[in-house]
Amino acid sequence: MANNNIIDLTDEQSLQKALIIIVEYQHNPCPPEIRKQELESLAKTMNVVVCDSIIINLKKENSQTFLGKGKVLELKEISIDKDIDLLIFEPDLAPSIQRNLEKILDICVIDRREVILQIFSDRASTKEASLQVELARLEYSLPRLTRAWTNLSRQRGGTKGNKGEGEKQLEIDRRLVLSRITKTKEELLKVKKIRDNQRKSRLNSNIPTVAIVGYTNSGKSSLLRYLSSSDIFVENKLFATLDTTSKKIKMPSHREMIFSDTVGFVSDLPHDLIESFNSTLEEATYADIILIVLDGSHPNLMGCYKTTKETLKELNCEDKPTLIMLNKCDLEINSFDRARLKALEPTLIETSVKNNINIDKVLTEIENLYSQNVDLSYFEIPNDRQDLIYYAKRNSYVIEIKYEENFVSLKTKIKDQYLGELINYKKSTPIQ
Ligand SMILES: Nc1nc2c(ncn2[C@@H]2O[C@H](COP(=O)(O)OP(=O)(O)OP(=O)(O)O)[C@@H](O)[C@H]2O)c(=O)[nH]1
Ligand SMILES: [Mg+2]
């Protein structure tokens, strides 16, 4: 690829010095101090050194440079004084503003969205995740082909050569990016088909599925790792997980359920990333139960809760049976937020995956939730058809078996294709 226009931070460049700029100019319910902290941890995850962070109150937006002339010059002075290589802005910048700022400041200017793209790009490990990130990066780069900076060094587009040459090169670059986008989409479609087939076979079985969702770094992978005694990747950094991992878990009733880990949410997740990660997030759409993991020690707990609920709404999952874990209760949880959350979500369970607090309770609750919400079938099986009871146990999710005088009553969740001979003993009304 000749020109991807996205910063590529290699190890050698890992000591890039960044200045973070949070601009307050439209009402944002999340306090700037908290947004600053989050952008700092995102920047650190991207492997840059954050030298300083500044919050700027902006009354009137400048159409060319977003900030006023005086502020831009002030930033230039700070950047020179502190030997800054990289400015990171929140909110996201329009391509033309980013270009103008880079020209005036003579250093690389990126926004939060590009930071997230970079992190996703560094972390994508499976083919699907890599393709998804590649697509988001290419789409992001398209309107930015004339940027002065890329790979933290100057690029030719728009800055060198005469105008005619620049335009010709730009057209070549545009076409290259567009054909790459088409190719990536095609490849993605193929990978998606494989995933869909895997999911289909999981859904076709009678094993209930639980999607573990929540803000990044809340403990989702830690939970699945703990439950499945596996070595799933867990890290105290944002976006440790970009792919879905599914594991069969033995529940307290000894029945099995499939738990799937998902990519973490973040507030204002760039829309193209939500779209490109849709197939991963679809795990939630198809799950029987949603398990939300919240980090109780997060400084913006209510914001994380809100973002999680909003993202689930975007995925059309808001009406699914849902359980909330208020995780990391071994750490300090803001008592005001805890009370607010409990009022909103009375069934919330305080947990610590780290110290195994209330994890069994979560599993039991999930089973309860499932049996309350699932469409059950009812059967009365003659006592001498123990083979059918055995068949039902193996091929459906049995909620209850009662041995009556003349028959065995069975309450279960079973898919039509598994009914077999059981269909002859199906009852339309629930067993009393
Ligand atoms: N103190 C404490 N730390 C926890 C607990 N659960 C998880 N952690 C830590 O929180 C950090 C993030 O955990 P992960 O399981 O990677 O979080 P995640 O939700 O999968 O994060 P993403 O994949 O980025 O979305 C790790 O350092 C864990 O060790 C807990 O109950 N208590
Ligand atoms: Mg994870």
Give percent of the chain above pLDDT 90.
48
Report how far ligand 2's centroid is from the alpha carbon of 275 (Å): 19
Question: What pLDDT, in 10s, does the model give residues 69-97?
Answer: 999 999 999 999 999 999 999 998 999 99
The CATH number that applies at residue 66 is 3.40.50.11060
Q: Is residue 345 part of a domain?
A: yes
Q: Looking at residue 54, what is its pLDDT?
A: 95
Instruction: Give pLDDT tens digits for 203-232.
Output: 777 789 999 999 989 999 999 999 998 777
> How far, in Å, is the centroid of ligand 1 from the Cα of 215?
10
Tally of structural domains, the chain: 3
Q: What is the pLDDT confidence band of residue 428, given thresholds at 50, 70 and 90?
A: confident
Q: What's the domain range around 45?
A: 11-123
Overall average pLDDT of the 384-413 stretch: 89
Domain co-membership, 293 together with 409: no
How far away, in angstroms, is 178 Cα from ligand 2 center? 32
Buried b (16+ CB within 10 A) or exposed e, 315-338: bebeebbbbbbbbbbeeebbeebb
Among all ligands shown, which has an atom nearest to the Cα of 220?
1
Residue 399 and residue 421 share a domain: yes
In a domain, 289, yes or no: yes
User: Is residue 425 pLDDT above 90, yes or no?
Assistant: yes
Residue where a domain terminates, one of 62, 93, 123:
123
Q: Whose C-alpha lies nearest to ligand 1, atom 14? A: 219
- pLDDT for 121 equals 83
Ligand 1 atom 6, closest CA: 219
Ligand that lies nearest to the alpha carbon of residue 358, given by its number in the listed order: 1
∠22-16-156 over CA atoms, to 5°?
95
> Could you tell me if 233 and 349 lie in one domain?
yes
pLDDT confidence band for 171 (50 / 70 / 90): confident
Residue 180 lies in a domain: no
In the structure, what pLDDT confidence band is assigned to residue 430 with cuts at 50, 70 and 90? Answer: low
Q: pLDDT-derived band of residue 163, with 50, 70 and 90 as boundaries?
A: very low
Same domain, 312 and 418: no
Q: Which of 125, 217, 273 to mutate to test the pocket of ligand 1 (most atoms within 8 A of CB)?
A: 217
Ligand index nearest the alpha carbon of residue 328: 1
Q: In ligand 1, which atom is closest to the CA atom of 236? A: 27
Mean pLDDT along residues 144-153: 60
Confidence at residue 326, expressed as pLDDT on a 0 to 100 scale: 98
State whether 367 and 388 are in the same domain.
Answer: no
- The predicted structure's pLDDT at residue 154: 45
Confidence grade of residue 5 (pLDDT, cut at 50, 70, 90) = very low
Query: Which of 51-55, 130-134, 150-154 ranks highest by mean pLDDT?
Result: 51-55
Residue 233 alpha carbon to ligand 2 centre in Å: 7
Residue 341 has pLDDT above 90, yes or no: yes
Task: Clarify whether residues 92 and 67 are in a common domain.
Answer: yes
Question: Are 311 and 346 contained in the same domain?
Answer: yes
Residues 303 and 417 in one domain: no
- Render pLDDT for 13-55 as a digit per residue (tens, 0 to 9): 456 899 999 999 887 778 899 999 999 999 988 889 999 999 9
Q: Name the residue with higher pLDDT: 7 or 372.
A: 372
**Average confidence score pLDDT of the chain:** 85
Q: Once rounded to an integer, what is the mean pLDDT over residues 306-327? A: 91
Output the pTM of the full model.
0.80
Same domain, 225 and 355: yes
Confidence of residue 298 (pLDDT cuts 50, 70, 90): very high
Q: For 186-202, write each residue's pLDDT tens digit.
A: 998 888 888 778 777 77
Looking at the fold, whether 47 and 89 belong to one and the same domain comes out as yes
